[in-house]
Amino acid sequence: MKITGTGSAMPSLAVTNDMLSEFLDTNDEWISTRTGIKERRIISDETLTSLAVDAAKKAIESAGLTPNDIDYFLCSNVVNNFVTPSLSCILQGEIGANCPSLDLNAACTGFIYALDIAESFIQTGRAENVLIVCAEEPTRMVNWKERNTCVLFGDGAGAVVVSKGDAFKAFHISTQSKIEPLYYQRKLEYNPYQSHPDGDAPLIMNGKDVFKLAVSSSVSDIRNVLEKSSLNADDIKYYLLHQANIRIIDTIRDFLKQPDDKFPHNIENYGNTSSASIPILLDEMRRAGKFTKGDMLLFSAFGAGFTTGACVLEWNM
Ligand code: UT7
């Protein structure tokens, strides 16, 4: 499998840390030094669907394909305002594709899970071109009175087209069932036979636990895929890590003893956009001409579940 197209779309509204301090007991100094975030994009006039459609169309166009060339459509999404049908069904119609579509929810690791699934489809000959769209609006999951969570997130969509090729060298994905560190619980309709009413909790996070799990799992996943692909840390041109906290990225970099410029980031502009964060960064870097054919890239992400994943690929666009 290889990446043949990328795209992204962000909401127009940029909300700075100072804007948050107008209604929350927080400040730019705390948010910047603890997280690296200066501002985030938040859905206002747009919808998540419109962002996802925009990102998907750009990815298909940059691959030099049309919607008819897509054989399978995977959408990574944690929440949107439709429980059913899936976001991928809605997007498939909007894009004008004519292929099966499927949503997956592996939280912030969804992009790596989707790549792993796409590779199986391509390897087995089920598909030649797979469109992956990661579309997320975590700002609709948080309690906007909770300063320890709402300042961290932003909305956005990133997409890639993957096609037949031999660019991907190794994958490692995992799930450890640990709910307490990070969850969001929705109240459903009642049925008359229920004995235990549902809870209803906007995003709950134990930041310190997530921080430790993120660093340890990401370092271990990265070492795993380096070993599987017979590479060492120095061979990687760029590590594109899930953009959750600049201190998490810096700590992982320290463990790997690699220079700062190998760890590109845009968390300062967008906050944590869940599974969309790596494809958005990838698209920005491609459009800025940062990649050369033959560059080795490593993606690594972690999220609620606790899910984690990493993969290594050779850039070939
Ligand atoms: O995709 C995965 C999603 N989640 C993550 O990746 C999160 C991983 N964890 C983290 O990034 C960090 O743990 C946080 C940024 C969430 C928090 O940083 P921390 O260094 O672990 O801070 P803390 O939670 O220990 O809080 C320190 C203090 C507390 O005050 P006291 O109890 O020491 O008086 C908090 O109440 O900072 C306070 N605080 C804030 N102050 C100003 C918490 N949030 C804020 C805020 N503004 N927004």
Q: Whole-model pTM?
A: 0.97
Q: Please enumerate in sequence order all residues whose Cβ is within 8 A of that of 255, keeping only pairs 6 or more positions apart, or say none.
A: 215, 219
pLDDT exceeds cutoff 80 at 113: yes
Identify the CA nearest to 152 among candidates 39, 52, 240.
Answer: 39
Which atom of ligand 1 is the closest one to the Cα of 26?
47
Give, using CA atoms, the residue closest to atom 35 of ligand 1: 148
Spacing, Cα 312 to ligand 1 middle (Å):
31
Task: Categorize the per-residue pLDDT at 255 as very low, low, confident or very high, splitting at 50, 70 and 90.
Answer: very high
Residue pair 312/229 in contact by the 8 Å Cβ criterion: yes
Residues with catalytic roles: 108, 242, 272
Mean pLDDT of 21-35: 98
Cα separation, 225 vs 314, whole angstroms: 13
Spacing, Cα 50 to ligand 1 middle (Å):
32
Which atom of ligand 1 is the closest one to the Cα of 242?
1
The DSSP output letter for 110 is: H
Using CB distances shorter than 6 Å, the residues near ligand 1 are 26, 30-31, 34-35, 108, 147-148, 151, 205, 207-208, 210-211, 214, 244-245, 272, 303
First to last CA, the chain: 12
- Predicted local distance difference test score (pLDDT) of residue 262: 98
Which atom of ligand 1 is the closest one to the Cα of 151?
48
Phi, psi (degrees; rounded to nearest 5) at 141: -105, -20
Residue pair 237/259 in contact by the 8 Å Cβ criterion: no
pLDDT exceeds cutoff 90 at 195: no
The DSSP output letter for 86 is: -
The DSSP output letter for 242 is: -
Q: Are strands 201-205 and 2-9 parallel, antiparallel or unpaired?
A: unpaired
- Predicted local distance difference test score (pLDDT) of residue 199: 77
pLDDT exceeds cutoff 90 at 117: yes
Cα separation, 13 vs 19, whole angstroms: 12
pLDDT digits (tens, 9 = 90+) for 163-187: 999 999 999 999 999 999 999 998 8
Task: Categorize the per-residue pLDDT at 299 as very low, low, confident or very high, splitting at 50, 70 and 90.
Answer: very high
pLDDT digits (tens, 9 = 90+) for 220-250: 999 999 999 999 999 999 999 999 999 999 9
pLDDT digits (tens, 9 = 90+) for 260-294: 999 999 999 999 999 999 999 999 999 999 999 99
Cα separation, 87 vs 105, whole angstroms: 11
Spacing, Cα 76 to ligand 1 middle (Å):
27
Give, using CA atoms, the residue closest to atom 30 of ligand 1: 148
pLDDT exceeds cutoff 90 at 197: no
pLDDT digits (tens, 9 = 90+) for 120-129: 999 999 999 9
Give, using CA atoms, the residue closest to atom 41 of ligand 1: 26
- Predicted local distance difference test score (pLDDT) of residue 184: 95
Cα separation, 279 vs 7, whole angstroms: 8
Which atom of ligand 1 is the closest one to the Cα of 208?
13
Mean pLDDT of 55-78: 98
Residue pair 123/162 in contact by the 8 Å Cβ criterion: no
